[in-house]
Amino acid sequence: MKTLSAEPTGAASLAQPLPQLLTATAQTLPEQSHALARARAFAEPLLASETLDTGENTLAHADAVAAILRIIGGSEAMQAASYLVYACDHLNKPQEVIAKAFGDNFAALAVETTKLVRVQRQARQAQVASERAATGIPMAQTAAAQTENVRKMLLAFSRDLRVVMLRLASRLQTLRFFAAARQAAPPGVAREALQVFAPLANRLGIWEIKWEMEDLAFRFLEPDVYRQVARLLDEKRSERELHVEQLRQQLESDLKAQGMSVTVQGRPKHIFSIVKKMRGKSLAFDQVHDIRALRIVVADIADCYAALSWVHSQFTPIAEEFDDYIAKPKANGYQSLHTVVRDAAGLPIEIQIRTQAMHDHAEHGVAAHWAYKEAGVKGYAGVSATSSYDAKIAVLRQLLAWERDLSGTSAQDVGLDDRIYVLTPEAAIVELPQGATAVDFAYSVHTDLGHRCRGARIDGVMVPLNTPLKNGQTVEVTVAKEGGPSRDWLMAEQGYLVSHRARSKVRAWFNAQALHETVAKGREAVEKLLQREGKTALKLQDLAAQLGFNSADDLFEVVGKDEFSLRNIETLLHPPEPVQADDGPLLKKPRSASNPAKGGLLVVGVDSLMTQLAKCCKPAPPDPICGFVTRGKGVSVHRADCSNLREMIAQNGERVIEVEWGQPPGSANGSAGSAVYPVDVAVHAMDRQGLLHDISEVFTKEKMNVIGVQTQSVKGIALMTFTVEVSDAGRLHKVLGVVAELPGVRSARRR
């Protein structure tokens, strides 16, 4: 069987002159030779004087691609498409012209492949421009981006696998052209071949193309290493080849003597494979086992294992180098037995054992029994294809596996028919769901671009925004300077949006608009209240914090939704003062400070003065306190840190009077006795059933009487105020610690 690789360059001259190719084809498929000859005759006047951007003559390139496709089993349509693809660039209406001359099948294949060629060329040119302009971006990043772009576009057009096969053959010929011309291939071209096309050929099982493409690409990317390994292979070539040939003859003769129908072949050595093994296993050149390699091809699977047993009985096997890919085929359907043995001289030699069918698949992969349009019941990758649909699914599984190999995504069951790839005007590739529109495209590029999208051009033609996009199209959107999306975009029947991501962004925009309006309404209400109360100097953030909110906008939101009454703010600004201290202790100054009366407060320097505890801060011993002389109501006693007291002092500082806690009645040792004082406690907690009961129970156990409760729930948060009677505020701190440990309680503090 003819191969595509040879030692040491890895690039054998496979291409045949077209007349020979046509003659060979005519012997087996006369109707195909006629179509192929017509395709070349059709394209020759258009391509004969044209050159590709690589410098290669276009017609010569098409001849070589057709030859490669024939060798790997490509169909007549594929070979003819090699010419028609490049002819498309010179036709006004290629789809119509080619369909009329050759049929719809040829036209579809040629036009789809042409579209992919153009897209890849455009993306590569844009990438080169980007690398030149963005000097601050590491080259590895731009190279990775280009590799990803090529991968995406190949996937986009892989619904017709023949398109992918044409691109594989074309890229191989491009590498051959540079090698034959002794020119360095552009790094981007060689890198794509090594990182994208060769792995794709591997996944499809087309090893002829894989091996040669790897060697050629490696030759251009790392020429020094390539020459070094090639030189090492050449040094003992004749000696090694003589030894391998003697061993080949011995194996074939001995196995035939065992009654087997067998062919033993030498196996080409591939420089890139050798280098990978040397680097991956840190081996010296002489330690690489498959520098000497043979392949045994037998009639059936039973003979595979019989031949393996005989080989192991005649030579010394290296146990850790044995692989049974017949029992456990590779993901791409590859089957063979691999073993490494040492000969009488102790030299290692790798031996592969397989059937002829396995060998055909290993050499040609999917091309050996072709893709879904021509697979019939032969199947692919070990899967019996009872219908063309089954064969298509088998091929697509390999494409998905190849995609995961390159992208590193998880092995999930994703179909290729549910996505498309389009380009921005700068040739950046955008992945979208099938049926996506220009609006989906805009949101995929940038959220703000989506919000302001107002029109679209597809391949330069203005179209409605709800026009479904297709693979390979270039999409450009026009935008307004400001504004947002239309509510019509969320109506499924209008067909503006397909992507869930885009839909969620549109909904988020409208939700944000509604929230903005609510906050604005709440802010207006709060600011009007503060203006009416003469409290415009009060910071809104401080006001929100005093009311238990994290931010002013949180306060405005609940006010705007009518979930929080403005009376709560009024109460905070103007806490009620008692008209008479009937509900609290009325205490008088004793005759002297050294002999205090039995009241609870002492007003320093005043014999007898009516006092009352301020209800805004509710002081209780041993709080630091301060008195303020009111008009007609005696002395109002505040906690020293009371915000209302600070405001009153700022306005009438001369009315401040010093006060201190006295000895309450019934106390013999100066400690707190039977007198109690009301204090307010603020509790913030996640609202739940039984919360009020649990908190009240703590106060009951601690023998603190609860004389008032106010509760409010905002967005699942309970805002609770308890008025508790205490004789000692210091003890209250410990009780609040117990409350704070209750389930759901965020904070418990004295107000």
Name the amino acid, one letter, at 683.
V
Q: Which of 229-233, 266-270, 381-385, 413-417 shows the lowest mean pLDDT across its residues?
A: 381-385
Answer with the residue of higher pLDDT: 567 or 131.
Answer: 567
What's the whole-number mean pLDDT along residues 357-366?
72
- Tokens, residue 618: 């509710």
pLDDT of residue 278: 79
pLDDT greater than 80 at residue 44: yes
Helix (H) or strand (E) holding 651: helix 643-651
Domain layout of the chain by residue ranges: 1-221, 416-498, 510-573, 581-661, 677-750
Residue 161 · residue 365 · CB < 8 Å: no
Interval 145-161: pLDDT, tens: 556 666 666 766 666 67
pLDDT band at 105 (very low <50, low <70, confident <90, very high): confident
Query: Are the C-beta atoms of 190 and 171 separated by less than 8 Å?
Result: no
pLDDT of residue 465: 93
Compute the distance between CA of residue 634 and CA of residue 636 in angstroms, rounded to an integer.
7
Note the pLDDT of residue 142. 53
Least confident of 55-59, 202-206, 292-296, 541-545: 202-206
Give the strand pairing for 348-355 and 293-298: parallel
Return d(Cα 665, Cα 152) in angstroms, integer.
89
- Residue 508 half-sphere exposure toward CB, CA atoms < 13 A: 11
Please state which of the four CATH numbers 2.40.10.340, 3.40.50.2300, 2.60.120.10, 1.10.3210.10 is assigned to the domain occupying 1-221. Answer: 1.10.3210.10
Q: Examine the pLDDT at 436 and tell me if it is beyond 90.
A: yes
Residue type, 538: L
What's the DSSP call for residue 291?
G
Q: Which CATH architecture has domain 416-498?
A: Roll (3.10)
pTM: 0.50
In tens, the pLDDT along 657-670 reads 888 887 654 444 44
The number of beta carbons lying within 10 Å of the beta carbon of residue 261 is 12
681: pLDDT strictly greater than 80: yes
How far apart are alpha carbons 110 and 166 in whole angstroms? 10
Omega cis (within 30) before 665: no
The confidence score (pLDDT) of residue 550 equals 84
Sequence length of the chain is 751
Q: 671 - beta bridge partners?
A: none
b/e burial code for range 405-437 (CB count within 10 A of at least 16 → b): ebeeeeeeeeebeebbbbbbeebebbebbeebb
pLDDT tens for 443-455 read 988 999 999 999 9
677-750: what CATH class?
alpha beta
Give the C-alpha distances (Å, rounded to integers) separating 298 from 43, 244, 264, 304, 739: 44, 19, 9, 6, 84
- Count helices and strands (H / E) in the chain: 26, 21
